[in-house]
Amino acid sequence: MPPNNQSRRLLSLGVVALVLLGTLSVRMWFLQAVKAESNEQIVLSVRTRTIRLYPERGRILDVKGRVVADNKRVLTATIDREVIRDPEDRLLMFQRLSGPLQISVEGLFKRYEDKRFGPLEALPLKEDISEETAQFLMERSEDYPGIYVREDWKRNYPYGAIGSHVIGYMGAILEKNLAYYKSIGYDPNERVGGYGVEQSYETVLRGTPGYVRYEVNAQGKLLRLEERVEPIVGNDIVLSVDMEMQQFAEQALETQLAMRRRVEAGIIKLEDGTPDPAFPDPVYYKAPAGSVVMLHQDTGQVLAMASYPRFDSRWFTAGVTTEKFAQVFPKTDDPDLSILVNRAVSGRYNLGSSFKPFVAYAALNTGQLPGGADYKYRDLGSYKLESIPNGRCQDGVKCVFRNAICASTGAPCRYGEVNVESALAVSSDAFFYKIGEQILTERGYQPILENEVRRFGFGSPTNIDLPYEYAGTIPSKALKKRMADIGAISQESGKAYYVGDQILFSIGQGLLSATPIQVAAAYGVLGNGGNLMQPHVVKAILQPGTQDIKPGIANISFVDIPGSSQVVERFDDEQPVNTVDMSGDRRDPIVRGLQRVIRGPGVNFDSYHKTTGELLFRGYPYAELPIAGKTGTAQGFGNLPWNDSSAFGAFSLSPRGEYKYAAFAYLEKSGYGSQAAAPVVKCLYVALAGKYRFDPVNAADPLNTNASLAATPTYLRNPSCLVGGRSDSRD
């Protein structure tokens, strides 16, 4: 080989060697200098174990200091995963632990494979073990290497089912939420608020975790404590809810629903109107569910919020089997049977005539009625559309809309000359049909009515501090198109917004939907003279560690002291979300009409027509607590009477702050507004006036885990406040 070729090869090999040595030197420098700290952490993690210390969760208190969500210290047996990484070691360890922990080997393997528990953290084997079991395991660390017993906290709900839809419950982190909770520093196996205030205020209640770090040997045995950082307790929360009124509202609602199930709704008829011989027995109201809300009309603070069916929050911390839980909370597509739904914030309801006060405001505020409050319309039981030519009416277009049926005549009620005040008092549909048509056709088919009722919060979420709120819907061309696109209505129906849609809108039917909390807030606007307040179930957030006056009762006397350092944030002094002009002759005729609903008089045309609440509220303590309100009946599927739902809204006319509450109740498939929902609201105002002796609010009996009901039934001891006379009209 020529000398020059050999020299070039040797030179090339030398260059490669130098490059490799240089790369190795740089890598060694990087590991020793740049990565030294992280490498040291890896080494330390091999010979240390860090165990997270979970903080005690903040407590939830009612407006009078009752502790409605508390904590119980529990012990949790955990094991270092390094000790059981080998499959044979894992099997042997689980076989030895099965007895002391009273869990099957299969159950322990299921825990090991559970994706909620991260592969780099200690595996929790069993929560809420006894002190004896904990001591047994810790004293035998040679037999159970890698075992550590840590302190945790278990949520306790002393009052069981009372207020459960508001308070909520604790549950495992759902897989769909796992990424979010990890991003804010949660462990996958932590329990978090899964509903109600527990969910809405999760990060406020949780507190700040601490940790304890131990040096361990190769077998995972703890050698010595290296560092301990104590967790910080979570903030306490004071609700605006009073558990006395909450319990009473739940009792009144459930009692009334039970009573309505014993009432005949009618008989099944053939097309010619004769009884169907195949169904000779009468049909009873189903009355499966409902809700009632009472809130302070000046602040939006919720005093009581009841939803039925109820559930007991303790089922979620009872440790029952999956099969048992499915028995108590069965999955269903039937909305009538849904238990874990707070109908006060999630219910999607037509409102019937309880919506008419806001249509009346729209007419008065826009000058739609000639002469305003003095305008009179001659109601003879029906209304014929004026914007549809007679020829089209004869071709099948519906042009005539009728009033509700009067029980005394079996025909549409005839009220004679009515104005805004009297039309509200007796709930004249024809009067509002006329408003609905003409506020559209005489104003260039612009969304005037839609825009006016939005002032009261309809069509938008209230942003109440509870999860899963439904925003509601207001009939419009855009809504119809959207509903057609998703298949809720036909494509043909979704092409345009018709006068017929507006007619139904004007009496709270059709595509209008709202939640009870929305309607209660809207009635609050009528009550306070124009301020739309954001509803809240929480009154204040407190510094951790609120002291108790006695067991179960916290000292919250400082909450109402302005500037108290123990109050982190308060929600009872917020500004209005919107201001509605109630000046001039806008509010007064509406209020007078709704007062007459409660007290009378009705109207006297071909005969005397009582107002829709006149008989029910006879004997009501009006002098102590004057109120105004409106009934409503939302027609159900097939226009069958047993599918009609009942609504009633009211507000206070009292100048006294402790009496200034608005309320709304909705009882599904329970009949007329005056016969089902109105009595429930009446009871709440009777109690607010101090004319009903509450049952004591006692701690619940221990949860019966053998039961199949989500909550023990609760009824009024004395249901006399629900009793009243029968109205002449459908509402």
Q: CATH number, domain at 109?
A: 3.90.1310.10
- Say yes or no: 27 and 148 in one domain: no
Tell me the average pLDDT across 126-140: 88
**Inside any domain, residue 315:** no
- Residue 551 pLDDT more than 90? yes
What is the amino acid identity at position 2? Answer: P
For residue 639, the model assigns a pLDDT of: 74
Residue 42 has pLDDT above 50, yes or no: no
| pLDDT(611) > 60 | yes
What's the structural domain count of the chain?
3
Q: What is the band of 347 on the pLDDT scale with cuts at 50, 70, 90?
A: very high
287 within domain boundaries? no
pLDDT at 719 over 90: yes
How many beta carbons lie within 10 A of that of residue 381, not counting itself? 19
- Sheet (strand 48-53) strand order: 48-53, 210-216, 222-229
Does 637 reside within a domain? yes
pLDDT band at 667; cut points 50, 70, 90: very high
Q: Which of 7-16, 281-290, 646-655 has the lowest mean pLDDT?
A: 7-16
Residues 22 and 134 in one domain: no
Query: Which of 212, 239, 266 lies at the terminal end of a domain, its last residue?
Result: 239
What is the predicted pLDDT for the residue at 124? Answer: 87
Q: How far is residue 49 CA from its own chain's centroid? A: 42
What is the residue type of 138?
A: M
CA 335 to centroid of chain Cα atoms: 15
Range of the domain at 43: 3-47
Q: What is the pLDDT of residue 220?
A: 59
pLDDT the model gives residue 214: 80
- 3-class state of residue 11 by DSSP: helix
pLDDT digits (tens, 9 = 90+) for 615-651: 999 999 999 999 999 999 998 887 788 899 999 999 9
Residue closest to 258 by CA, chosen among 653, 703, 667, 687: 667
Average pLDDT across the chain, whole number:
90
Instruction: Please list, in sequence order, all residues whose beta carbon lies within 8 angstroms of the beta carbon of residue 145, skipping any fewer than 6 positions away.
Output: 80, 83, 219, 220, 221
Count CB atoms within 10 A of the CB of residue 545. 13
d(CA 206, CA 233) in angstroms, rounded, equals: 7
In this prediction, residues 288-316 reach a mean pLDDT of 97
Query: What end-to-end distance do the CA atoms of the chain give, in Å?
Result: 114
Greater confidence (5 vs 210) lies with 210
Confidence of residue 572 (pLDDT cuts 50, 70, 90): confident
Closest CA relative to residue 544, chosen from 521, 565, 525: 565
Shared domain for 633 and 527, answered yes or no, is yes
Residue 622 gets the label, from left (phi > 0), alpha (psi -120 to 50) or beta, of alpha
Q: How many CA atoms lie within 13 A of 148 on its CB side?
A: 27
Which of 614, 631, 714, 710 shows the shortest CA–CA distance to 673?
631
Instruction: Name the nearest CA neighbour of 415 among 440, 442, 434.
Output: 434
Return the top range by mean pLDDT from 97-106, 119-128, 420-429. Answer: 420-429
Residue 332 lies in a domain: no
Tell me which of 479 and 83 has the higher pLDDT. 479
Beta strands in 559-641 (DSSP E): 567-570, 578-579, 603-604, 608-609, 627-634
Looking at 658, 673, 688, which one is the last position of a domain?
Answer: 688
- Considering 32-41, 224-233, 263-272, 677-686, the range whose residues carry the highest mean pLDDT is 677-686
In this structure, which amino acid lies at residue 544? P
More confident residue, 32 or 372: 372
Tokens of 443: 């104003």
The pLDDT tens digits for 445-469 are 999 999 999 999 999 999 999 999 9
Q: Tell which wins on pLDDT, 21 or 512.
A: 512
Q: Report the C-alpha gap between 632 and 647 in whole angstroms.
A: 5
Instruction: Tell me what pLDDT residue 81 has.
Output: 83
Residue whose pair of structure tokens reads 């030398």 in the numeric block: 14
Query: Is the model more confident about 492 or about 8?
Result: 492
Single out the residue of 721, 628, 663, 647 nearest to residue 290, CA to CA: 647
Residues 491 and 633 in one domain: yes
Do 43 and 57 lie in one domain? The reply is: no
Angle subtended by helix axes 105-113 and 87-101, to nearest 10? 120
Q: Based on the domain organization, do 232 and 356 belong to the same domain?
A: no
The helix-helix angle for 588-599 and 356-365 (nearest 10°) equals 150
Instruction: Give Cα 181 distance to the centre of its chain.
Output: 22
Confidence of residue 12 (pLDDT cuts 50, 70, 90): low
Q: Determine contact, residues 470/457, Cβ cutoff 8 Å.
A: no
Residues 456, 585 within the same domain: yes
CA-nearest of 371, 381, 253, 352 to 612 is 352
- Alpha carbon 429 to its chain centroid, in Å, reads 32
Check pLDDT > 60 for residue 44. no
65 shares its domain with 17: no
The reply to whether 227 and 361 lie within a common domain is no
Q: For tokens 């207020």, what's the residue?
A: 163
Better-predicted residue by pLDDT, 321 or 438: 438
Is residue 726 scored above 80 in pLDDT? no
Neighbours of 113 (CB within 10 A): 8
Q: Is residue 262 part of a domain?
A: no
Answer whether 31's CB lies under 8 Å from 43's CB: no
Same domain, 78 and 98: yes
Contact assessment for residue 276 and residue 270, using Cβ atoms and an 8 Å cutoff = yes
Structure tokens at 273: 């109107």
Average pLDDT score over residue span 545-562: 94
Distance (Å) of CA 74 to CA 127, 149, 432: 7, 10, 61
Measuring CA to CA, which residue among 291, 230, 334 is closest to residue 544?
230
Segment 688-700 shows an average pLDDT of 94
Average of pLDDT values for 596-612?
A: 93
Please give the pLDDT value at position 239.
98
* Predicted confidence (pLDDT) at residue 389 exceeds the cutoff of 60: yes
pLDDT at 223 over 90: no
340 pLDDT tier (thresholds 50, 70, 90): very high
In a domain, 308, yes or no: no
| Average pLDDT for 440-447 | 94
* Residue 259 maps to a domain: no
For the segment 423-428, the average pLDDT, to the nearest whole number, is 96
Q: Give the length of the chain.
A: 731
Residue 34 confidence (pLDDT): 56
Of the CA atoms within 13 Å of residue 198, those in its CB half-sphere come to 26
pLDDT of residue 309: 97
Q: Are residues 19 and 152 in the same domain?
A: no
Which CATH number does the domain housing residue 650 bear?
Answer: 3.40.710.10
360 is a domain residue = yes
Check whether 43 has a pLDDT greater than 50: no
Position 11 scores a pLDDT of: 67
- 3-state per-residue secondary structure call for 181-212: HHHCCCCCCCEEECCHHHHHCHHHHHCECEEE
Overall average pLDDT of the 48-60 stretch: 87
Q: Hey, which of 138-142, 404-408, 516-520, 569-573 has the most confident mean pLDDT?
A: 516-520
Residue percentage of the chain with pLDDT more than 90: 65
* Side-chain half-sphere exposure of 630, counting CA atoms within 13 A: 33
Of the residues 239, 268, 298, the one at which a domain ends: 239
Based on the domain organization, do 31 and 126 belong to the same domain? Answer: no
What confidence score (pLDDT) does residue 38 get?
53
